Amino acid sequence: MGIVATDFGIKEALKELGIEDINKGSSTGSEFFANGDSISSYSPVDGKLIAKVSTTSPEDYERVMSTASDAFKHWRTIPAPQRGEVVRQFGEKLREVKEPLGKLVSYEMGKSLQEGLGEVQEMIDICDFAVGLSRQLHGLTMHSERPGHRMYEQYHALGIVGIISAFNFPVAVWAWNTALAWICGDVCVWKPSEKTPLCGIACQHIAASVMKANNLPEGISCLINGDYRVGEMLTTDKRIPLVSATGSIRMGKIVAQKVAARLGKSLLELGGNNAIIVSPDADIKMTIIGAVFGAVGTAGQRCTSTRRLIIHDSIYDKVKNALVEAYAQLRIGNPLDENNHVGPLIDQEAVKMYIEALERVIEEGGKLLLPGGQLDGEGFESGCYVKPAIAEAQNNFQIVQHETFAPILYLLKYSGDLQNAIDIQNGVVQGLSSAIMTNNLREAELFLSVSGSDCGIANVNIGTSGAEIGGAFGGEKETGGGRESGSDAWKVYMRRQTNTINYTADLPLAQGIKFDL
């Protein structure tokens, strides 16, 4: 069936995105390979069915892979700056559809409209970054120990990149991977979350239109829809040298094992259990702004959401009272209404996990300062809205060690010097994002030193949530170790090759080895 949604201008937004009828969608370009069972996309905003989307069958998948393989043979031969021009056009197209795509992200996923628009802006930003990168895929030149020899290394396109993305950033994370992979000469096969399939279809339409306008072959951008079984097609496929997967630690471990079993490469961006350390020298007003946005933004469903606030005992009560006062000002409701701060969780299963987490806090000996709870009544008919909660807890509580994708903030107390707080901050299995609030230069530098945060992201006087595309994004430990987006993250999408050229009439061997005939 086609589009069902009519509320909040969503049908009009989908029309602007070129998907009035998803049955005329595209997996690789002009053809639609989707003959599997259908999945339903329900909006957490109002609980209504948006559309039903056909999933990818094994036969469909084989056609997609064949098309992608053929496209790669052509795409890799196009000079990188020319590939950059295609990515530039893709970014321009995103600028044109920023409003309808942002609205779709907000409605299908449940994040605020401003965050939905911001997510599309991230896509635009990574395109801009990638365009510049297309003229900077640098190798290195080395001096050879052998006379008359030159050594250098260069990077070549890797092949087909498989992308598995999560519901919480239904378009941006795909773009982080795709823009860089395209610049590198790779083609992409993307499995979006089954909870946000329309966002995937919208992006595929945008990409396909740009490829068609440039007379490029189908298969440079491919889409497959479905649940974990469709994802397994990617992870077990030897034709895919790299699988980039974003999601839970549990999912990431499965992906890593499947890909490693065939000696493929995986890029993992998994869970976070992010903390802000609040030192006695912190600016309290700044701390509250950063902590509240980090904890309740996207209803606590970011991998960089602030889960723990580690506060020095000398200012603990002051910070706690300021937080409770700030939370009292939060407005919960339809995320398409820009007056609201907090929207819904993705579905009722997420609500269940949120409630169970709050119960665990009490069971383990914690205290709920703001007890939270599920909301019902007018405006909350979807059953996906909850109140942001604050709990006093200990870092060794099992529930604190676990990442709950919901707006629950744990307050933890530390005493003594900063190293005690850093030990608490590092005392979890995840290692994604971290922050310290302090005006003390020595504390800031210690936090960023080798003895400081063990996370992939460490911030001073800003929160844990939100990142610019110029820096590499990712984390350590069970967060997976992958890096996406900026800096030199492009290298993971390419294969490195060392070259040695002998421009003499002799053939000396390395290490002085003699082999005379």
Catalytic residues: 269, 303
Q: Quickly list DSSP for 74-127.
A: HHTTS-HHHHHHHHHHHHHHHHHTHHHHHHHHHHHH---HHHHHHHHHHHHHHH
Q: Quickly list DSSP for 157-206.
A: E--EEEEE--SSSTTHHHHHHHHHHHHTT-EEEEE--TTSHHHHHHHHHH
The answer to whether the beta carbons of residues 497 and 154 sit under 8 Å apart is: yes
Element (H, E) at 53: strand 49-54
Residue 394 CB partners (closer than 8 Å, separation 6+): 364, 365, 366, 400, 412
DSSP 3: B
Q: Which amino acid is at 435?
A: A
Euclidean distance between CA atoms 193 and 171, whole angstroms:
10
Query: What are 144's two structure tokens?
Result: 């050879």
| 344 backbone dihedrals φ, ψ, rounded to 5° | -85, 165
Residue 333 CB partners (closer than 8 Å, separation 6+): 339, 340, 342, 343, 379, 380, 385
The answer to whether the beta carbons of residues 489 and 472 sit under 8 Å apart is: yes
Euclidean distance between CA atoms 183 and 320, whole angstroms:
48
Extract the runs of DSSP E, i.e. beta strands, from 376-456: 386-387, 389-392, 408-414, 430-431, 433-437
